[in-house]
Amino acid sequence: MSTSFSSLPIISLSSLSKASCDEAELLRLSAELDHVFSTTGFAYLTDLPLTYTHEDVFGICDEFFGPNGVSTEEKMKLAKRTFVPGNKNTYRGYFPPQQGSDNLKEGFELGTPSTLPSSSSPNPKFNLTEPNVFPSSQSFRTKCETLHTELQNLSTKLLSLLAVSLGKPSTFFENYLTNSLSTLRLLHYPPVPASRQQELICTPHTDSGILTLLHQDSTGGLEVLNSKNEWIPAPYVPGSVVVNIGDLMAKVSGGRWVATLHRVRAAKRNADQVKGRHSVPFFFEPGAECVVRSLDGEEVIYGKHVVEKMSGWVEFQDVIEEEESGLRGVPKAVEVY
Question: Does 183 participate in binding ligand AKG (rule CB under 6 A)?
Answer: no
Q: What's the closest the beta carbon of residue 330 comes to ligand AKG, in angstroms?
A: 20
222 contacts which partner out of Fe ion, ligand AKG, none, CB within 5 to 8 A by kind?
A: ligand AKG
Q: Which residues of 125-157 are buried (b: 16+ CB within 10 A; e: fewer)?
A: bbbbbbbbbbbeeeebbebbbbbbebbbebbbb
262: contact with ligand AKG by CB under 6 A: yes
- Using Cβ positions, the residue closest to ligand AKG within the complex turns out to be 279
Q: Is 223 in the site for Fe ion (CB under 5 A)?
A: no
Using CB under 6 A, count the residues that bind ligand AKG. 12
- Asked if 202 touches ligand AKG (CB under 6 A), the answer is yes
Question: How does DSSP classify residue 79?
Answer: B
Query: Applying CB under 6 A, does 281 fall inside the site for ligand AKG?
Result: yes
Q: Considering CB distances under 5 to 8 angstroms, the limit depending on partner class, which of Fe ion, ligand AKG, none binds residue 77? A: none
**Residue in 222, 225, 307, 314 binding ligand AKG, rule: CB under 6 A:** 222
DSSP for 205-274, please give it: E---SSEEEEEE-TT--EEEE-TTS-EEE----TT-EEEEE-HHHHHHTTTSS----EEEEPPPP-TT-T
Residue nearer to ligand AKG on the CB measure, 77 or 247: 247
CB under 8 A, 24+ apart: contacts of 143-147: 143/52, 143/56, 143/60, 143/63, 144/60, 144/110, 144/184, 144/186, 145/110, 145/113, 146/51, 146/52, 147/52, 147/57, 147/60, 147/184, 147/280, 147/282
Q: In the complex with ligand AKG, which residue's Cβ is closer, 160 or 220?
A: 220
Of the pair 207, 285, the CB lying nearest Fe ion is at 207
Tell me whether residue 77 or residue 105 sits nearer to Fe ion (CB atom): 105
279 binds, among ligand AKG, Fe ion, none (CB under 5 to 8 A by kind): ligand AKG
Taken in order 294, 296, 297, 301, is the CA torsion positive or negative?
negative
Residue 290 CB, nearest distance to ligand AKG (Å)?
A: 21
Q: Which regions of 10-49 does DSSP assign to beta strands (E)?
A: 10-12, 42-46
Q: Is residue 207 a contact point for Fe ion (CB under 5 A)?
A: yes
SS3 content of the chain, % helix, strand, coil (to 5): 30, 20, 50
Q: Residue 264 interacts with ligand AKG (CB under 6 A)?
A: yes
C-beta closer to ligand AKG: residue 144 or 187? 187
Site of interaction with Fe ion (CB under 5 A): 207
Site of interaction with ligand AKG (CB under 6 A): 187, 202, 207, 214, 216, 222, 262, 264, 279, 281, 336-337
